[in-house]
Amino acid sequence: MPALFAHLPPYAIVLLFFVLHLLVGALLPSRPGYRPLLWMMMDKGARAYEFRLNRSDRGNRTLAVRGGIVTALLGLAALLIGLVVWRAGLHGFGWLLSLLLLGGAVSAMRHVRRLRDAAGWLEKNTTAPLAALLQADGNEDFAKADSHTLARRVLERAAGSINRECVAPLFYFLLAGPVGLCLYVAFLAVFDAFGRAAYFGRMPRMLEAVLDFIPARLTAIALSLGALFVSRSNPLAGLKLALTQSSRFWRTNQGWPVAAVAGSLGITLGGPVRDKNNIVTESQWLGAADTTARIGAPELRRGAMLMFTTFLCIIVLVSAAVVVRHKFS
Protein backbone atom coordinates (compact mmCIF):
# COMPACT_ATOMS: atom_id res chain seq x y z
CA MET A 1 0.00 0.00 0.00
CA PRO A 2 2.71 2.61 0.78
CA ALA A 3 4.28 1.93 -2.62
CA LEU A 4 0.92 2.72 -4.25
CA PHE A 5 1.10 6.30 -2.93
CA ALA A 6 4.84 6.77 -3.32
CA HIS A 7 4.46 8.55 -6.68
CA LEU A 8 1.28 10.35 -7.70
CA PRO A 9 0.80 12.15 -11.04
CA PRO A 10 -0.51 15.75 -11.03
CA TYR A 11 -4.11 14.82 -11.86
CA ALA A 12 -4.21 12.32 -8.96
CA ILE A 13 -2.89 15.00 -6.61
CA VAL A 14 -5.63 17.36 -7.80
CA LEU A 15 -8.34 14.74 -7.21
CA LEU A 16 -7.01 14.07 -3.71
CA PHE A 17 -7.00 17.80 -3.05
CA PHE A 18 -10.64 18.01 -4.14
CA VAL A 19 -11.63 15.40 -1.58
CA LEU A 20 -9.74 17.12 1.24
CA HIS A 21 -11.00 20.57 0.30
CA LEU A 22 -14.61 19.43 0.29
CA LEU A 23 -14.11 17.98 3.78
CA VAL A 24 -12.25 20.87 5.43
CA GLY A 25 -12.61 23.80 3.02
CA ALA A 26 -15.73 25.18 4.69
CA LEU A 27 -13.75 25.50 7.92
CA LEU A 28 -11.32 27.98 6.36
CA PRO A 29 -11.64 31.42 7.96
CA SER A 30 -13.56 34.21 6.25
CA ARG A 31 -12.00 36.94 8.37
CA PRO A 32 -11.02 40.25 6.73
CA GLY A 33 -7.81 40.11 4.75
CA TYR A 34 -7.53 36.31 4.69
CA ARG A 35 -6.44 34.59 1.48
CA PRO A 36 -4.67 31.29 0.82
CA LEU A 37 -1.10 31.38 2.16
CA LEU A 38 0.78 31.63 -1.15
CA TRP A 39 -1.43 34.52 -2.26
CA MET A 40 -0.82 36.40 1.00
CA MET A 41 2.96 35.89 0.78
CA MET A 42 3.14 37.23 -2.77
CA ASP A 43 0.73 40.06 -2.04
CA LYS A 44 2.75 41.25 0.97
CA GLY A 45 5.97 41.16 -1.05
CA ALA A 46 4.42 43.09 -3.92
CA ARG A 47 2.94 45.78 -1.67
CA ALA A 48 6.20 46.19 0.25
CA TYR A 49 8.14 46.80 -2.97
CA GLU A 50 5.42 49.07 -4.33
CA PHE A 51 5.48 51.20 -1.16
CA ARG A 52 9.21 51.76 -1.51
CA LEU A 53 9.57 52.18 -5.26
CA ASN A 54 6.34 53.69 -6.62
CA ARG A 55 7.33 57.31 -5.92
CA SER A 56 5.48 60.25 -7.44
CA ASP A 57 8.73 62.18 -7.91
CA ARG A 58 10.00 59.67 -10.49
CA GLY A 59 9.45 59.82 -14.22
CA ASN A 60 6.89 57.65 -15.97
CA ARG A 61 9.49 55.51 -17.72
CA THR A 62 11.37 54.97 -14.46
CA LEU A 63 8.18 53.88 -12.74
CA ALA A 64 7.35 51.44 -15.55
CA VAL A 65 10.84 49.93 -15.34
CA ARG A 66 10.67 49.67 -11.56
CA GLY A 67 7.27 47.96 -11.74
CA GLY A 68 8.65 45.51 -14.28
CA ILE A 69 11.64 44.72 -12.07
CA VAL A 70 9.42 44.09 -9.03
CA THR A 71 7.22 41.81 -11.13
CA ALA A 72 10.27 39.91 -12.40
CA LEU A 73 11.73 39.51 -8.90
CA LEU A 74 8.54 38.03 -7.49
CA GLY A 75 8.25 35.85 -10.57
CA LEU A 76 11.77 34.57 -9.93
CA ALA A 77 10.88 33.77 -6.31
CA ALA A 78 7.79 31.90 -7.51
CA LEU A 79 9.86 30.02 -10.07
CA LEU A 80 12.28 28.84 -7.38
CA ILE A 81 9.43 27.70 -5.11
CA GLY A 82 7.83 25.84 -7.98
CA LEU A 83 11.08 24.15 -8.98
CA VAL A 84 11.72 23.00 -5.41
CA VAL A 85 8.22 21.50 -5.16
CA TRP A 86 8.51 19.90 -8.62
CA ARG A 87 11.91 18.41 -7.79
CA ALA A 88 10.64 17.04 -4.50
CA GLY A 89 7.75 15.39 -6.31
CA LEU A 90 10.19 13.20 -8.21
CA HIS A 91 11.20 11.41 -5.02
CA GLY A 92 8.99 9.16 -2.91
CA PHE A 93 6.33 11.07 -1.06
CA GLY A 94 7.50 14.45 -2.34
CA TRP A 95 4.08 14.85 -4.00
CA LEU A 96 2.84 15.85 -0.56
CA LEU A 97 4.54 19.21 -1.13
CA SER A 98 2.45 19.64 -4.28
CA LEU A 99 -0.65 18.87 -2.24
CA LEU A 100 0.36 21.48 0.34
CA LEU A 101 1.07 23.95 -2.47
CA LEU A 102 -2.45 23.46 -3.81
CA GLY A 103 -3.78 24.08 -0.31
CA GLY A 104 -1.83 27.35 -0.20
CA ALA A 105 -3.10 28.57 -3.57
CA VAL A 106 -6.56 27.11 -4.23
CA SER A 107 -9.75 27.90 -2.35
CA ALA A 108 -13.37 27.50 -3.39
CA MET A 109 -15.28 26.56 -0.24
CA ARG A 110 -14.05 29.70 1.54
CA HIS A 111 -16.12 31.84 -0.81
CA VAL A 112 -19.20 29.72 -0.24
CA ARG A 113 -18.87 30.38 3.49
CA ARG A 114 -18.16 34.07 2.91
CA LEU A 115 -21.35 34.56 0.91
CA ARG A 116 -23.36 32.72 3.55
CA ASP A 117 -21.86 34.89 6.29
CA ALA A 118 -22.61 38.02 4.27
CA ALA A 119 -26.22 36.93 3.79
CA GLY A 120 -26.55 36.35 7.53
CA TRP A 121 -25.24 39.84 8.31
CA LEU A 122 -27.65 41.48 5.88
CA GLU A 123 -30.57 39.50 7.31
CA LYS A 124 -29.68 41.01 10.69
CA ASN A 125 -29.44 44.50 9.11
CA THR A 126 -25.76 44.60 10.04
CA THR A 127 -23.46 45.91 7.30
CA ALA A 128 -20.35 46.83 9.29
CA PRO A 129 -18.77 43.31 9.27
CA LEU A 130 -19.36 42.98 5.53
CA ALA A 131 -17.89 46.42 4.82
CA ALA A 132 -14.83 45.55 6.93
CA LEU A 133 -14.44 42.25 5.09
CA LEU A 134 -14.53 43.92 1.68
CA GLN A 135 -12.37 46.86 2.77
CA ALA A 136 -9.57 44.54 3.87
CA ASP A 137 -9.62 42.62 0.58
CA GLY A 138 -9.13 45.51 -1.83
CA ASN A 139 -8.66 49.20 -2.50
CA GLU A 140 -12.31 50.19 -2.91
CA ASP A 141 -13.87 52.65 -0.47
CA PHE A 142 -16.93 51.27 1.32
CA ALA A 143 -17.30 53.95 4.00
CA LYS A 144 -20.60 55.21 2.54
CA ALA A 145 -21.73 52.08 0.68
CA ASP A 146 -25.30 50.87 1.19
CA SER A 147 -26.30 47.24 1.69
CA HIS A 148 -27.04 46.71 -2.01
CA THR A 149 -23.57 47.90 -3.04
CA LEU A 150 -21.95 45.67 -0.42
CA ALA A 151 -23.99 42.68 -1.60
CA ARG A 152 -23.01 43.27 -5.22
CA ARG A 153 -19.33 43.65 -4.39
CA VAL A 154 -19.06 40.52 -2.23
CA LEU A 155 -20.77 38.51 -4.98
CA GLU A 156 -18.45 39.99 -7.62
CA ARG A 157 -15.42 39.19 -5.45
CA ALA A 158 -16.61 35.61 -5.06
CA ALA A 159 -17.13 35.25 -8.82
CA GLY A 160 -13.67 36.62 -9.52
CA SER A 161 -12.09 34.48 -6.83
CA ILE A 162 -13.57 31.27 -8.23
CA ASN A 163 -11.45 32.09 -11.25
CA ARG A 164 -8.36 33.44 -9.46
CA GLU A 165 -8.24 31.00 -6.56
CA CYS A 166 -9.70 27.87 -8.10
CA VAL A 167 -10.00 27.45 -11.88
CA ALA A 168 -6.85 29.31 -12.94
CA PRO A 169 -4.42 27.79 -10.39
CA LEU A 170 -5.74 24.29 -11.17
CA PHE A 171 -5.47 25.01 -14.91
CA TYR A 172 -1.82 26.05 -14.64
CA PHE A 173 -0.97 23.25 -12.21
CA LEU A 174 -2.30 20.64 -14.64
CA LEU A 175 -0.65 22.44 -17.55
CA ALA A 176 2.80 23.17 -16.07
CA GLY A 177 2.93 21.62 -12.60
CA PRO A 178 3.99 23.50 -9.45
CA VAL A 179 6.02 25.99 -11.51
CA GLY A 180 2.99 27.05 -13.53
CA LEU A 181 0.82 27.42 -10.44
CA CYS A 182 3.43 29.47 -8.55
CA LEU A 183 4.08 31.82 -11.47
CA TYR A 184 0.36 32.44 -11.94
CA VAL A 185 -0.17 33.27 -8.27
CA ALA A 186 2.87 35.56 -8.18
CA PHE A 187 1.96 37.57 -11.27
CA LEU A 188 -1.73 37.89 -10.37
CA ALA A 189 -0.89 38.86 -6.77
CA VAL A 190 1.33 41.60 -8.20
CA PHE A 191 -1.55 42.70 -10.42
CA ASP A 192 -3.91 42.84 -7.44
CA ALA A 193 -1.34 44.83 -5.43
CA PHE A 194 -0.55 47.61 -7.90
CA GLY A 195 -2.01 46.72 -11.28
CA ARG A 196 -4.12 49.90 -11.28
CA ALA A 197 -1.03 52.14 -11.02
CA ALA A 198 -0.72 53.95 -14.36
CA TYR A 199 2.95 53.24 -15.06
CA PHE A 200 4.22 51.14 -12.15
CA GLY A 201 1.49 48.60 -12.89
CA ARG A 202 2.00 48.37 -16.66
CA MET A 203 3.77 44.99 -16.65
CA PRO A 204 1.30 43.30 -14.25
CA ARG A 205 -1.61 44.46 -16.41
CA MET A 206 -0.03 42.91 -19.52
CA LEU A 207 0.58 39.62 -17.71
CA GLU A 208 -2.94 39.52 -16.26
CA ALA A 209 -4.45 40.04 -19.72
CA VAL A 210 -2.56 37.00 -21.02
CA LEU A 211 -2.61 34.63 -18.03
CA ASP A 212 -6.30 35.06 -17.17
CA PHE A 213 -7.56 34.96 -20.76
CA ILE A 214 -8.34 31.23 -20.94
CA PRO A 215 -9.14 30.53 -17.24
CA ALA A 216 -11.64 33.41 -17.02
CA ARG A 217 -13.62 32.00 -19.94
CA LEU A 218 -13.46 28.47 -18.54
CA THR A 219 -14.77 29.86 -15.24
CA ALA A 220 -17.74 31.46 -16.99
CA ILE A 221 -18.59 28.09 -18.55
CA ALA A 222 -18.24 26.32 -15.18
CA LEU A 223 -20.50 28.88 -13.49
CA SER A 224 -23.12 28.43 -16.19
CA LEU A 225 -22.99 24.67 -15.65
CA GLY A 226 -23.27 25.16 -11.90
CA ALA A 227 -26.39 27.25 -12.43
CA LEU A 228 -28.17 24.12 -13.69
CA PHE A 229 -28.46 23.03 -10.05
CA VAL A 230 -29.49 26.36 -8.45
CA SER A 231 -33.14 27.31 -8.06
CA ARG A 232 -34.52 30.09 -10.28
CA SER A 233 -31.26 30.27 -12.26
CA ASN A 234 -30.75 30.44 -16.01
CA PRO A 235 -27.50 28.85 -17.28
CA LEU A 236 -28.02 30.00 -20.87
CA ALA A 237 -28.59 33.58 -19.75
CA GLY A 238 -25.35 33.41 -17.77
CA LEU A 239 -23.36 32.20 -20.76
CA LYS A 240 -25.02 34.73 -23.07
CA LEU A 241 -24.28 37.63 -20.72
CA ALA A 242 -20.65 36.53 -20.39
CA LEU A 243 -20.30 36.50 -24.17
CA THR A 244 -21.98 39.86 -24.73
CA GLN A 245 -21.27 42.03 -21.68
CA SER A 246 -18.01 40.87 -20.09
CA SER A 247 -16.05 43.69 -21.75
CA ARG A 248 -18.16 46.26 -19.86
CA PHE A 249 -16.53 45.31 -16.55
CA TRP A 250 -13.55 47.39 -15.44
CA ARG A 251 -11.39 44.23 -15.54
CA THR A 252 -12.29 42.54 -18.81
CA ASN A 253 -11.08 39.04 -17.90
CA GLN A 254 -12.87 39.20 -14.55
CA GLY A 255 -15.93 40.41 -16.39
CA TRP A 256 -16.48 36.88 -17.72
CA PRO A 257 -17.25 35.17 -14.38
CA VAL A 258 -19.02 38.27 -13.01
CA ALA A 259 -21.28 38.49 -16.07
CA ALA A 260 -21.93 34.74 -15.89
CA VAL A 261 -23.08 35.09 -12.27
CA ALA A 262 -25.27 38.12 -13.07
CA GLY A 263 -26.93 36.36 -15.97
CA SER A 264 -27.37 33.04 -14.19
CA LEU A 265 -28.94 34.57 -11.09
CA GLY A 266 -31.00 37.15 -13.01
CA ILE A 267 -29.48 40.21 -11.30
CA THR A 268 -27.38 43.24 -12.20
CA LEU A 269 -23.75 43.58 -11.08
CA GLY A 270 -20.90 46.00 -11.83
CA GLY A 271 -21.10 49.77 -11.81
CA PRO A 272 -18.49 52.45 -11.06
CA VAL A 273 -15.71 51.64 -8.57
CA ARG A 274 -14.37 54.29 -6.16
CA ASP A 275 -11.06 53.51 -4.43
CA LYS A 276 -9.63 54.79 -1.13
CA ASN A 277 -7.94 57.69 -2.94
CA ASN A 278 -11.33 58.84 -4.30
CA ILE A 279 -10.36 57.73 -7.83
CA VAL A 280 -13.40 56.48 -9.75
CA THR A 281 -12.97 53.72 -12.32
CA GLU A 282 -15.87 53.73 -14.75
CA SER A 283 -17.45 50.32 -15.18
CA GLN A 284 -20.78 49.67 -16.85
CA TRP A 285 -23.56 47.60 -15.37
CA LEU A 286 -23.78 43.92 -16.25
CA GLY A 287 -27.26 42.45 -16.48
CA ALA A 288 -30.38 42.07 -18.57
CA ALA A 289 -32.65 45.08 -18.96
CA ASP A 290 -35.34 43.66 -16.67
CA THR A 291 -33.01 42.84 -13.73
CA THR A 292 -32.13 44.90 -10.67
CA ALA A 293 -28.93 45.83 -8.84
CA ARG A 294 -30.82 46.16 -5.54
CA ILE A 295 -29.84 42.72 -4.30
CA GLY A 296 -29.65 41.40 -0.76
CA ALA A 297 -29.44 38.27 1.38
CA PRO A 298 -31.59 35.97 -0.84
CA GLU A 299 -29.37 36.60 -3.86
CA LEU A 300 -26.24 36.03 -1.79
CA ARG A 301 -27.55 32.67 -0.57
CA ARG A 302 -28.28 31.64 -4.15
CA GLY A 303 -24.82 32.91 -5.06
CA ALA A 304 -23.28 30.73 -2.35
CA MET A 305 -25.11 27.71 -3.76
CA LEU A 306 -23.90 28.64 -7.25
CA MET A 307 -20.27 28.75 -6.08
CA PHE A 308 -20.69 25.34 -4.41
CA THR A 309 -22.32 23.67 -7.41
CA THR A 310 -19.70 25.22 -9.70
CA PHE A 311 -16.94 23.68 -7.62
CA LEU A 312 -18.70 20.31 -7.83
CA CYS A 313 -18.91 20.71 -11.61
CA ILE A 314 -15.18 21.43 -11.74
CA ILE A 315 -14.52 18.23 -9.79
CA VAL A 316 -16.72 16.22 -12.17
CA LEU A 317 -15.09 17.73 -15.28
CA VAL A 318 -11.54 17.09 -14.05
CA SER A 319 -12.49 13.55 -13.02
CA ALA A 320 -14.04 12.92 -16.44
CA ALA A 321 -10.88 14.22 -18.13
CA VAL A 322 -8.80 11.78 -16.06
CA VAL A 323 -11.05 8.85 -17.06
CA VAL A 324 -10.87 9.80 -20.75
CA ARG A 325 -7.11 10.17 -20.56
CA HIS A 326 -6.70 6.71 -19.03
CA LYS A 327 -9.08 5.14 -21.53
CA PHE A 328 -7.28 6.47 -24.61
CA SER A 329 -3.70 6.46 -23.31
With CA atoms as reference, report the closest residue to 100 among 200, 192, 211, 21: 21
Mean pLDDT, to the nearest integer, of 40-67? 91
Q: Look at 69 and 24; give whichever has higher pLDDT.
A: 69
Q: Give the residue with greater pLDDT, 137 vs 267.
A: 267
Position 29 scores a pLDDT of 62
Tell me the domain boundaries of the chain.
Answer: 7-328
Residue 282, judged by CB atoms within 10 A of its CB (0-12, 13-18, 19+), counts as exposed
Residues 6+ apart with CB under 8 A from 198: 60, 63
Average pLDDT estimate for 152-160: 94
What is the model's pTM? Answer: 0.92
Share the mean pLDDT of the chain.
Answer: 89
Which one has a higher pLDDT value, 271 or 30?
Answer: 271
DSSP string computed for 22-42: HHHGGGS---TT---HHHHHH
pLDDT digits (tens, 9 = 90+) for 202-219: 999 999 999 999 999 999
Whole-number Å distance between alpha carbons of 17 and 267: 33
Lowest pLDDT segment from 82-86, 273-277, 299-303 = 273-277
